[in-house]
Each structure stands twice: as structure tokens, then as C-alpha cells.
A = this chain, B = another copy of it.
Amino acid sequence: MTDRTDGMNYAPKGKPAPVVKPGQFVFAAVALDHGHIYGMCNGLTEAGGVVKWVYDPDPAKVDAFVKQFPAARRARSEAEVLDDPEVKMVAAAAVPNLRCPLGLRVLDAGKDYFTDKTPMTSLAQVEQARAKVAATGRKYMVYYSERLHVESAMHAGDLVKAGAIGRVLQVTGFGPHSLNAPLRPAWFFVHEQYGGILCDIGSHQIEQFLYYAGAADARVLHAKVANYGHKQQYPELEDYGDATLVADNGATNFFRVDWYSPRQLSTWGDGRTFIVGSEGYIEMRKYCEVGRGEGGDQLYLVNRDGEQHMSLKGKVGFPFFGQLILDCLNRTENAMTQAHAFKAAELCCRCQEQAIRVE
């Protein structure tokens, strides 16, 4: 489940860095439709969380999960999980258009929710989730893994916050993914279910833009999608998408997502992020150093101190998960604010709605 060539089942492992004592933070895993559930549960357990339950209607998925997390007990139903007062949080990676309905049930049960991205597939769902959070006071947190579970991406945030490149003017992100079509579940190719490419893998990109730019809001200026190469076999797939946005603070964004990573690439995608500031710039080569066989988490910083290359694998860790656990226990927002998580979701839905189609 740490297959570098398959983004869907790429579940990073970090060093254990517990922020709580055993049993202080109990969570459950339900809806194992997307392999990201493994990265999510790795992160939470490394930070000291205990996965008490697992539930999915498909026993094969549960079997696989229990192999990785033997402490997890097989629940007989979702209700059994939601009814357990010891469970503080439900982690889930449902089919994208079912992530919000599940989240609403979790929040109604008085628990926090931690879902794989994209957290919603429509603006109506975004509004439902916002209303439910307001009504219950529970958290609807999102695994935006392309920042939260990438050491170079976490370090880039620290550099920006420390002023290493001045005011952030522009963020460009490339999120190419390998299709690996035969390994994908059926829902992956049904537009209503996966939500569209800008909503799905585009959500990572917009979350990073808002974060690095330090922006609370943004406007979609242009977006486009295409199904260049799979019209016959997968008519509802969008195999290409891009968009450009402007944030409330004037910073702009362009991102490109696609399903065209060659199978022969050493990883599932040569993901990049470029941050242009008034005093320098940062580039992240997240998952590989293409053509050099050096692995990912390479960060390049150019500023008044010259050109710097930082190889960050194993050096930063994944502090998000411990912060998330403490946020749940202390009702703080250090890992991520609810407003930020929802704004990224809203904007990726807006991109999808506004997208023109190219051929």
C-alpha cells in the first residue's frame, strides 16, 4: 500500500510522533473506497491515534485494511461506529459524491469527520456541510494530501511564512497522475461520482494556492477540461483540466491536472509546485527528481541568499496529523481552519462549474 507508481494507493509513512497517550484519541475508519484511507490512518496512528473500528460494506476491503491495522475491529454497520461514544473522529474515503452525505451523518453523531479530498462534489454539498458544521460545532476536515502528506510541501509553507520569498505573487501547480485504468474502480469513470477532474484532483491544487498565498478567498477567472484521449472507452472521464484564479490579496494561481503521467515514470506523477514571490521563488519536485533517480521531496529556493537545493525526505515529518488530533481534543484550529478546508472545496466546485470544454 505504498506503491509509488499508483497515486490512488500511495500512502506515505512517517516516523511515529505521538501527541497523545494510547487511548486518548480513538477514531474509526469507514468507507474504504479510495486508497487514501491508508495514508490518512497512517498519519493519525503515527500521531498517537488508535483506530478502534473499521467498516465498509465490502468485506474484501475490510480484510485488506485489517492486515495493515490489526487493532481495528470489524464493525457490523456504520451505525455501530457512529453509536460508539469513545470514537472521536471518523476517517473516511468514500466515493467522492458520497463523502458529504457521510460527513453529515458523522457530524450529526457528534463526531469530527476527516475525509479524503475532494470533500464535496457540488456547491450544494459545500453549503450543506457549512450549515452542519455551524449547527453541530463538529469539524469537517480534509486530507489534502498533496500538501499535508508531502514533506517538501510542508517545508515550503514554513519558508513562505518565514518571509523567505517576500510577498507571494503567484502559485503554479502541476498535478499529473498516471491513469492505471484497469486498476481503477468503476466510480472513477462516472462524472457524477468522481465530480470532475478540477473538483477531484484539482482540489489539492486550490488548497495549496490558498495556503501558500495566505488567502482567505479567491475568484475563478478561467477553467477548462478535456477528454482528449479516452472518449471511446471512458466518455465521462476528464483526462485534462486547468484553471486560473486570483486571490483576495491579489496573488494568482494556475494549475494543471491530468491523467497523462507515463507508466514508465518512477512515480505516479511528477507533481510540482512553483511559488513566485516578490523576493524570490520556490519550486517543489514532490514525488520524483525526474531523470535523476533521486526520489522526491526536492525543494529549490532562490532568494537573496542565492540558489539553494534542499532534499527533504525524512527531514520534515508530517506535523498535520498530530495537530489535527490536538485540534479535535482542544477544539482549536492549528492543523487547518474549517474556513480554509471549505473554501478550497468551494473553489474547486466553482472551477468545475465554470470550466469550458476543449477537444
Q: Which residues of A contact B (CB under 8 A)?
A: 167, 169-170, 172, 174, 176, 221-222, 224, 226, 228-229, 240, 242, 244, 246, 250, 252, 254, 256, 258, 260, 262, 264-266, 270, 274, 276-281, 283, 288, 290-293, 300-309, 356, 358-359
Contact = CB atoms under 8 A, between A and B. Distances in A.
Contact of A250 (B169, B172, B260, B358): B358
Contacts of A276: 176, 256, 258, 260
Contact of A222 (B176, B221, B256): B221
Given A170-B256, A264-B302, A265-B302, 17 more contacts: A172-B172, A176-B276, A176-B281, A221-B222, A221-B224, A221-B356, A244-B244, A244-B254, A246-B358, A252-B358, A260-B276, A264-B304, A264-B307, A283-B290, A290-B307, A291-B309, A293-B307
18 contacts: A169-B240, A169-B258, A169-B260, A172-B174, A222-B222, A224-B246, A228-B278, A229-B278, A242-B252, A242-B254, A260-B276, A262-B279, A262-B280, A264-B304, A264-B307, A270-B302, A290-B302, A292-B309
Contacts of A309: 290-292
B270 A252 contact: no
A333 B280 CA distance: 42
Contacts of A277: 260
Contacts of A292: 309
Contacts of A226: 169, 250, 252
Max chain B Cβ within 10 angstroms of own Cβ: one of A262, A265, A281: A262
A290 B279 contact: no
A167 B228 CA distance: 10
Contacts of A302: 262, 264-265, 270, 290-291
Max chain B Cβ within 10 angstroms of own Cβ: one of A252, A288, A303, A359: A252
Max chain B Cβ within 10 angstroms of own Cβ: one of A174, A229, A358: A358
A302 B5 CA distance: 14
A308 B258 CA distance: 21
Nearest to A243: B244
Given A283-B290, A306-B264, A254 B252 contact: no
A290 B280 contact: no
Given A244-B244, A256-B172, A250 B359 contact: yes
A79 to B, nearest CB: 46
A306 B309 CA distance: 25
A307 B266 contact: yes
Nearest to A240: B169
Contacts of A356: 221
Contacts of A256: 170, 172, 254, 276
Contacts of A172: 172, 174, 256
Contacts of A174: 172, 274
Nearest to A267: B307
Nearest to A254: B254
Nearest to A258: B276
The 8 closest A-B pairs by CB, nearest first: A291-B309, A222-B222, A291-B300, A264-B306, A291-B307, A250-B359, A290-B300, A262-B280
A82 B279 CA distance: 46
Contacts of A358: 246, 250, 252
